[in-house]
């Protein structure tokens, strides 16, 4: 693993980090194909909604955003968000995953600047859960909880603001 400035690093992608975005990419290509050929199926709307929720909500509410520190994964995610923009539909909904990705990167850099260390994103749920980060070689603390809650709340308000 080669560290780069601003908390990013270069490391080959794991199987999980390859399969997950690849599946999303294939689903986006399928949706794009169906819309381009004007094939209107109910399943297209369902798959599109699930994909949108995954691109938009999962980075805000889960530790998936820790994977964005890997340059290769970030570029892969950026391609996915950009392709989502090209799918015909509501522009406000299309730009939301890209805005969330950018927002998470910016707030992560601000956290690193303030606390002089990388945040450990946590799963937002009913109870506070801590986790150990192998990348950071430490367990999460109250600052990481604050970071995760801040990302969740501001990301949610950003989403409401963009859609309305």
pLDDT > 70 fraction of the chain, expressed in percent and rounded: 96
The 10s digit of each residue's pLDDT in 74-87 is 999 999 999 888 87
Mean of pLDDT over the chain: 86
Handedness of CA 22, 68, 89, 152 (dihedral sign): positive
Task: Map out the domains of the chain as residue ranges.
Answer: 2-163
Best-predicted range by mean pLDDT among 3-7, 46-50, 106-110, 131-135? Answer: 106-110
User: In the predicted model, is pLDDT for residue 14 greater than 90?
Assistant: no
Name, in order, each residue with C-beta under 8 angstroms of 32's C-beta and a sequence gap of 6 or more: 83, 86, 87
In the prediction, which pLDDT does 1 show?
A: 63
Q: How many angstroms separate the most distant Cα atoms in the chain?
A: 51
pTM over 0.75: yes
In the prediction, which pLDDT does 106 show?
A: 92
């Amino acid at each position: 693993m080669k560290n780069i400035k601003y908390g990013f690093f270069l490391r080959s992608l794991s199987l999980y980090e390859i399969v997950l975005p690849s599946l999303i990419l294939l689903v986006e290509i399928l949706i794009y194909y169906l819309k381009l050929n004007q094939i209107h199926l109910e399943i297209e709307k369902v798959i599109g909604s699930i994909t949108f929720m995954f691109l938009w909500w999962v980075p805000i509410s889960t530790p998936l955003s820790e994977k964005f520190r890997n340059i290769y994964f970030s570029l892969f995610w950026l391609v996915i968000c950009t392709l989502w923009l090209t799918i015909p539909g509501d522009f406000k909904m299309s730009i939301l995953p890209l805005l969330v990705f950018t927002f998470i990167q910016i707030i992560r850099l601000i956290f690193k600047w303030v606390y002089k260390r990388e945040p450990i994103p946590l799963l937002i749920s009913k109870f506070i859960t801590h986790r150990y980060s192998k990348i950071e070689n430490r367990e999460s603390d109250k600052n990481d909880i604050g970071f995760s809650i801040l990302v969740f709340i501001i990301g949610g308000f950003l989403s409401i603001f963009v859609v309305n």
